[in-house]
Structure 1
Amino acid sequence: MRMIFVNLPVKDIEASREFFTHLGFTFNPQFSDEHTLCMIVEENIHVMLLQEDRFRDFINGDISDAAKTKEVLTCLSCESRSEVDTVLARAREAGASGWKPVMEEGPMYGGSFQDLDGHVWELMYMDQG
């Protein structure tokens, strides 16, 4: 069975822990320490939030400034339109900034925000019925 680990640089591990905990995420302590948080999205999907100095251990070149440029959009599915709205509201309460307006296109309803480090998170409900 495959797993996916999205790796993102963050400026402040504890601020990121508080932010994503407010959104309802939990962390795997086995793969977390004072420089790294392993955020559980689902059983086989994790986001590794790495303090910038730790992130540098894994890359060549510079860390992009996510507040200025975008290299990835992370989109998470939601079970309902109300879940999209609820998570967006929680993100704003926790300090996120808006990114694009809520959109509705056919069977899709979604919204987005930028986390504390400027990474874009999209939330999408797709009505399969």
Structure 2
Amino acid sequence: MDTSIFVNIPTTDLDRAKAFYTALGCTINPNFTDDNAACVVWSDTIYFMVLKREFLATFTDKPIVDPNESLQVALSFSRDSREDVDAILALGLAAGGTEPREAQDYGFMYSRDLDDPDGNSLGFLYMDPTAAAEGPAAYEEQAQA
């Protein structure tokens, strides 16, 4: 059995959130989208349920944090190249997102962060295949050879 991931995130503007995520290349599943929530499809197994804050509050007795003020979770997505990381950041920035800090370049891994218009944190990264399979030390050995 494959496991799917459903990540619930708050929004103050559902239409703006849908426009932002579709600009990144996601699709919206209309079967699970209404006036309170939208199902954002990243892949066959990864979905965001973007929920109006008031609706998300009905799922829990805990307070819903303001993602502009507090970090509840940071999600990272792999990309096939550094250029792909830069390309999705460009799309996100053009669609109203912000880049909260500079790119992180560790040699074996390159990553950039993107906050959606509600402040939810997304990371996009490229990791060298050798480092991904064998660890950063193997990458360093290969780079020095």
**Quick check: TM above 0.5?**
yes
Show the 5 A alignment for 1:33-44: 33-44=34-45
Residue 97 (1) aligns with residue 98 (2): yes
Inter-partner Cα distance in structure 2 for 1:96 and 1:110: 16
Answering whether residue 72 of structure 2 is matched by residue 82 of structure 1, we say no
Map of 1:57 onto structure 2: 58
TM-score (norm 1): 0.95
Q: Residue 43 of structure 1: CA displacement?
A: 0.4
Q: What secondary structure, in the 3-state scheme, does the structure 2 residue paired with 1:54 have? A: helix
Structure 1 residue 58: deviation in Å? 0.5
* CA distance in structure 1 between the partners assigned to 2:61 and 2:92 by the alignment: 31
Partner of 1:8: 9
Which of the pair has the greater relative contact order for Cα pairs under 8 Å at 6+ separation? Answer: 1
Q: How far off its partner does 1:106 sit?
A: 2.8
Shift of 1:14: 0.3
Greater Rg by CA: 2
Q: Provide, for residues 44-92 of structure 1, a one-character-per-residue CA deviation record: whole Å limited to 9, x for no partner.
A: 1111100111101111121101111101001011111111001111111
Letter in 2 for 1:43: D
Gaps of at least 5 residues in structure 2 are 131-145
> Which residue matches 1:45?
46
> Identity of paired residues, percent?
32
TM-score (norm 2): 0.85
Q: Secondary structure at the match of 1:70?
A: coil
2:23 aligned with 1:27: no
More helix by share: 2
> CA separation in 2, counterparts of 1:59 and 1:27?
24
Residue equivalent to 1:67: 68
1:89 partner amino acid: A
Secondary structure class of the residue paired with 1:42: coil
For each residue in 1:78-110, what CA deviation from the matched residue of structure 2 results, as whole angstroms up to 9, or x when unmatched? 111111001111111111111121111131111
Shift of 1:29: 1.1
Q: Distance in 2 between the 1:45 and 1:92 partners?
A: 22
Aligned-partner Cα distance in 2 for 1:46–1:66? 19
Amino acid paired to 2:43: E
